[in-house]
């Protein structure tokens, strides 16, 4: 047998290959490091700093430069601003991450069913999605909070219910794309169940854009929660970045 001398690089597959591809992307690694630092600071910062965000550490309504104690000064009520940033970051990130996971879970279920089965199921689910999509996001969140009352749990639910239609449409588009591939047809031909094809065959291939969209939803949820807090529609006992701006 003749050796042609052609070197073939092995193809990296699976989670190990995905990790190596991620580590080669310097921008992605830098973003992960920054996000991890922010998350660690907001989780452990309030305990290490030792000052309560609700405690008055100076007289209220001090002018600029009069509050020489706290590192970042105090607000109009005499509360430590740095303590508020740390504690508020914990609340804001918690609400944003949970709301993003809720959004993607609901959107994934609706979008995968619509994209995989098509026909009347697709039409029914997409009309249902459009009902939520045409509603003004802030107004819908206001209605949810008005009905359920203020609180971190209800705020998270309101944000999650507001943003899922876009996730459902993205998931549907990916499933419409992948369901016609040859390997999906082969899985269907050998008798694999619909659930196995949807979540074991198609979903892993559709995950890259969905994960990217999840990160964008986290950012959007942070801004949304800050807006609700700025309008005073959150729990008054909860410290967040939005309530500090208000």
The CATH number that applies at residue 133 is: 1.10.3720.10
Percent with pLDDT over 90 in the chain: 9
What's the mean pLDDT in 89-114?
Answer: 89
pTM of the predicted protein model: 0.77
Poorest-pLDDT segment among 11-25, 102-116, 125-139, 230-244: 11-25
Per-residue pLDDT band for 222 (boundaries 50, 70, 90) equals confident
What's the mean pLDDT in 36-50?
Answer: 82
Per-residue pLDDT band for 40 (boundaries 50, 70, 90) equals confident
Tell me how far apart the alpha carbons of residues 168 and 150 are, in angstroms, rounded to a whole number: 27
Q: Is residue 55 part of a domain?
A: no
Per-residue pLDDT band for 110 (boundaries 50, 70, 90) equals very high
Supply φ then ψ for residue 56, to 5 degrees: -80, 120
Per-residue pLDDT band for 67 (boundaries 50, 70, 90) equals low
Per-residue pLDDT band for 7 (boundaries 50, 70, 90) equals very low
Q: Which domain holds residue 181?
A: 90-245
Half-sphere exposure of 103 (CA within 13 A, CB side): 31
Q: Is residue 19 part of a domain?
A: no
Gyration radius of the chain over CA positions? 24
Q: How many domains are contained in the chain?
A: 1
Q: Which among 134, 85, 133, 102 is positioned nearest to 218, based on CA atoms?
A: 102
Q: Is residue 68 part of a domain?
A: no
What's the mean pLDDT in 2-27?
Answer: 56
Q: Is residue 47 part of a domain?
A: no
Q: Is residue 101 part of a domain?
A: yes
Q: Which among 175, 179, 158 is positioned nearest to 229, based on CA atoms?
A: 158
Q: Is residue 60 part of a domain?
A: no
Q: Is residue 16 part of a domain?
A: no
Per-residue pLDDT band for 169 (boundaries 50, 70, 90) equals very high
Tell me how far apart the alpha carbons of residues 50 and 83 are, in angstroms, rounded to a whole number: 8
Classify residue 243 as exposed, middle or buried by CB count within 10 Å of its CB (0-12, 13-18, 19+).
buried
Phi-psi region of 61 (alpha: psi -120 to 50; beta: other; left: phi over 0): left
Q: Is the pLDDT of residue 12 over 50?
A: no
Q: Is the pLDDT of residue 11 over 50?
A: no
Q: Is residue 161 part of a domain?
A: yes
What's the mean pLDDT in 159-174?
Answer: 90
Q: Which among 237, 218, 240 is positioned nearest to 227, based on CA atoms?
A: 240
Beta strands in the chain (DSSP E): none
Helix axes 203-230 and 137-148, enclosed angle (nearest 10): 70
Q: Which residue has the higher pLDDT, 111 or 215?
A: 111
Per-residue pLDDT band for 211 (boundaries 50, 70, 90) equals confident
Tell me how far apart the alpha carbons of residues 152 and 236 are, in angstroms, rounded to a whole number: 10
């Amino acid at each position: 047998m003749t050796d042609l001398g052609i070197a073939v690089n092995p193809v990296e597959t699976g989670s190990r290959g995905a990790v190596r591809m991620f580590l080669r992307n310097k921008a992605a690694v830098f973003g992960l490091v920054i996000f991890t630092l922010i998350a660690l600071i907001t989780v452990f910062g309030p305990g290490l700093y030792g000052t309560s965000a609700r405690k008055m550490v100076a007289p209220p309504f001090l002018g600029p430069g009069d509050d020489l104690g706290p590192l970042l000064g105090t607000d109009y009520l005499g509360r430590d601003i740095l303590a508020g940033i740390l504690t508020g970051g914990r609340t804001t990130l918690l609400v944003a991450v949970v709301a993003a996971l809720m959004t993607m879970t609901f959107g994934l279920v609706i979008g995968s069913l619509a994209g995989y089965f098509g026909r009347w199921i697709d039409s029914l689910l997409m009309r249902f999605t459009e009902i939520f999509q045409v509603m003004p996001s802030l107004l819908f969140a206001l209605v949810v909070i008005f009905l359920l009352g203020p609180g971190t749990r209800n705020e998270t639910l309101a944000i999650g219910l507001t943003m899922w239609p876009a996730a459902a449409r993205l998931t549907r588009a990916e499933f419409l794309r992948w369901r016609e591939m040859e390997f999906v047809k082969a899985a269907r031909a050998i008798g694999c169940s619909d659930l196995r094809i949807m979540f074991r065959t198609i979903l892993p291939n559709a995950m890259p854009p969905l994960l990217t969209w999840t990160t964008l939803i986290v950012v959007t949820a942070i801004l949304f929660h800050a807006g609700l807090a700025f309008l005073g529609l959150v729990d008054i006992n909860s410290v967040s970045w939005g309530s500090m701006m208000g």
